[in-house]
Amino acid sequence: SNREPILGGDLINISLMFTDIKDFTVLSERLTPDALAQALGRYLEVVTAAIRATGGTVDKFIGDAVMTFWNAPAHHEGHAKLACRAALGCMRAAQQLYASPGWKPLPPLFTRYGLHKATVMVGHFGSPERLSYTALGDGVNVAARLESLCKQYDVASLASEAIVAGARDEFAFRLIDRVAVKGRHEAIRVYELLGTLEEARAKQGVVDR
């Protein structure tokens, strides 16, 4: 719009996704800095492509972690579904990368995903000399906590009740637990994202609808 960004933002309902690679520190200790940068670059390239294919905004890279949200700055209907589609797309893209000749001899990596939908402040924050377009608020913290909880339950993804409510007509989820994530007193139900409904029907197991 040919306008300089200004400090501040607006309350917007968005879907968020945090990702992180399991034991990435171990891998970084095995590789030279140059080899590590190349491997991480290839991984982030395919993950970013999967996210952008759903209209997601890549907020930032935090080492090997990625913070993404939907419905800002561009409006997207059904953004909870887009977040689920992106998480599954990232998983498929990463598996294709690990099976490619260019990835050898590196081992396949395991990425955890945290998904949440909430109304948060979205805009430009920081100092007048350096602004960053990002999202702030309790909902952002919940999404990050869900990603870290994946380790406790040994699953690749955890989604909040808000995500399930907005995506259950296209995606299948399995109820994992009712937990009070760190920093919050109120407990929420957390679910594992199993895949699309079609994919879930092809698998055995109990699906929470």
Q: Which pTM does this prediction carry? A: 0.92
The secondary structure of 157-170, three-state, reads EEEEHHHHHHHCCC
State the pLDDT at residue 183. Answer: 64
Q: What is the pLDDT of residues 12-22, one digit of tens each?
A: 999 999 999 99
Q: What is the pLDDT of residues 28-71, one digit of tens each?
A: 999 999 999 999 999 999 999 999 999 999 999 999 999 999 99
Placement of tokens 């055995």 in the chain: 204
State the pLDDT at residue 159. Answer: 98
Q: Is the pLDDT of residue 209 over 60?
A: no
Neighbours of 147 (CB within 10 A): 23
Contact 22, 65 (CB under 8 A): no
Q: Which two tokens stand for residue 189?
A: 């139900």
Average model confidence (pLDDT) across the chain: 92
DSSP letter string, 115-155 = EEEEEEEEEEEEETTEEEEEEESHHHHHHHHHHHHHHHHT-
State the pLDDT at residue 205. Answer: 55
State the pLDDT at residue 42. Answer: 96
> pLDDT band at residue 5, thresholds of 50, 70 and 90?
confident
State the pLDDT at residue 4. Answer: 80
96: left (phi over 0), alpha (psi -120 to 50) or beta: alpha
Contact 28, 67 (CB under 8 A): no
Contact 117, 76 (CB under 8 A): no
Task: Map residue 37 onto helix, strand or coil.
Answer: helix
Q: What is the pLDDT of residues 145-168, one digit of tens each?
A: 999 999 999 999 999 999 999 999
